[in-house]
Structure 1
Amino acid sequence: MFESAGLLSGKVILVTGASSGIGAAAAAVFAREGAAVVLTARREAELAARVAELTAKGLKASYVVADMTRSEDARRAVDTAVERHGTLDGAFNNAGTGGNPEPLHTMSDEVYDRIVDTNVRGLWNCLRPEIAAMLKGGGGSIVNNSSVGGLVAIATAAPYVASKHAVIGFTRAAADEYARQGIRVNAVAPGSTRSEITADWYADNPGLEDAIHAATPQGRTAAPEEIAEAAAWLLSDRASYVTGAVLPVDGGYVNR
C-alpha cells in the first residue's frame, strides 16, 4: 500500500517553533524522511543555522521568520511555503511556551496572557491559513503539539494546563469539521522532553526533574527526536485513518 521511500517523501511541511527543541528536531526528522520543510520561528539566527545544517546534508529546507501570535505572520508563513513549493501537505504546530511553577492565586495577568496568547491564539492563527491552503490543495495533515498537561492536571501550572487542553479541543474540533474534505488533524502530548524551556525550568526548580522522573514509568526525560518521530508518523500517509487522536509520547506518565 505504501512506498518504501521516506515516510514523508515528496511532502511539503511547515514547522512552527522550529528554531530549537522539539521543533528543530522535527524539521530534521521530517527532512530526513523526504519532506521539503519550511521552518518558522522568531529567531532568525537560529533558523538560519538549522536550515544550513539540513541543506548541507542535501535535505530540502528553508525558513521564514514569523511570530505565530500575529495572525499576519502566520498567514505569511503559510503563503510563503505554498509560493516556494506549490502546495502545503502538512503542518506541525509546535510553537508554544510555559512558565515557572506558581500557585494559581498568585499568578499575574501577564503570565496568563503570555502563555495563552502563544499556545492558544498562536494555534488559532496557524490553523486558519493552513486549513485554507490544504483545502485548495486537496487535503493534508496537521499535527498540533499539546502536552501531558492537556490530558491531566499539573499543580502550579494552571494557565499552561488550560492552554494545552485548548490545543486538544482545537484538534478534535478541526478533525471533525474537515475529515470529509481530506484533512486529518491530530495532536501529540509530550511528557518531559529536553529543550531550552525545560532546561531553564529544571535549573530554576531543583529537584523537579527527579520528581517528574519518579512519576514517569520509563523514569527519564525524552529526547526531542522521540516526539518528532511520533509527529512524523501522524503526518504521514501511514496514519491515513487516524484523525482527532491525541497521542501521548510521555514514557507512560498519563498511564500511571
Structure 2
Amino acid sequence: MIKFLICALTVVSLVKGKATPEVQRVWKDSYFPTAEDIITRPSGRPFTISVEGNVGSGKSTFLNFFRGYPDISVYQEPVDYWTNFHGEDMLGLVYNDTKRWGLTFQSLVTLTMLETHVKDLRGRDGLPTPPVKIMERSMQSGRWCFVEQMTNVITNAEKYLLDEWYGVIRNTTDVDVDAIVYLRTDPQVIYERIYKRDRKEELKVPLSYFQDLHRLHENWLIYQNVTTYPMPKVIVIDANTDLSLLKLTYRQFAKDLYSAVPEILKTNDFFSFCTGKC
C-alpha cells in the first residue's frame, strides 16, 4: 500500500505572541535508496524525481531551488523549444486546434521527454554522472494526463498510436522515476495564475481545461486508477499555499534531498540546470 505524504504547509507556531511559519520538512532520508542500489542499477539511471502538477502549479519555482547544487541535474520542460520548433509555435497550435495538432504536439512532447529520461545514465562516455536527476513532468504524466485529456478530441486511432508508442518505450527503455512530487493546486488558483504570468499561448485556455487536467492528475496520483505497474513514492504538496511559505518548504526540501545522497555517490561536479532542449 502506497503511503501518501500529504503536507499541510500552513502550520504556524506562536513565538512571543506572533504567528511564525514553521518550515515543513517533506523529504526524509529513508526515501533515498542505498548507494549500491544506484550503482548496480542495470540501466545506469540515477535516482530520478519527476515534479508533476497542473499547468501553472509552480513546478519551475520548485525546480529553481535545486539550481547550483552539485550532483543534481535539473531539467525543465523545453517550452521555448516547443514554441519555436523549426519556426513553428507548436504549443500555440495545439491550444488553438487540439483536434488538428494534438497528435503532432504530443509526439513532440514524447520525443523531448524521452531525451530527458535517458540523460545522465551512469557508465556512458566515461563522464561523471549525477546521483540525482529532477525533471519537470515525465513520460507517465504525458500518457496518463495529457493524452487522456485529448481523448474526446483526437481520433481513437491517434490515441492508440500514442499509447502504443508509450508501451514500446516503457518496454525497451528505463523511463521510470523513483519518486513523484505532486504540486496539488485547485483549478481556480491555476486559472488566476495563468493570467498573471501572461504566456500568450495560454491566455485563451478555458477554466474547464485546467479542471480536466486536475481531475486526471488526481486520478493518476491520488486514487491511482490508471497505471498497471507499481507506483513510485508520491509526495503531495499543497501548492495553493502562499508562495512565501512554499519557498521555505522548497528550500528545505532541496537541502534535505542533497543531504540524503550517500557520500560515495557524490563527485562535487555541477550538473545541468536545463531550461531549453537538453
| Structure with higher helix content | 1
Question: TM tier, shorter chain?
Answer: 0.3 to 0.5
State the TM-score, normalized to the length of structure 1.
Answer: 0.39
State the TM-score, normalized to the length of structure 2.
Answer: 0.37
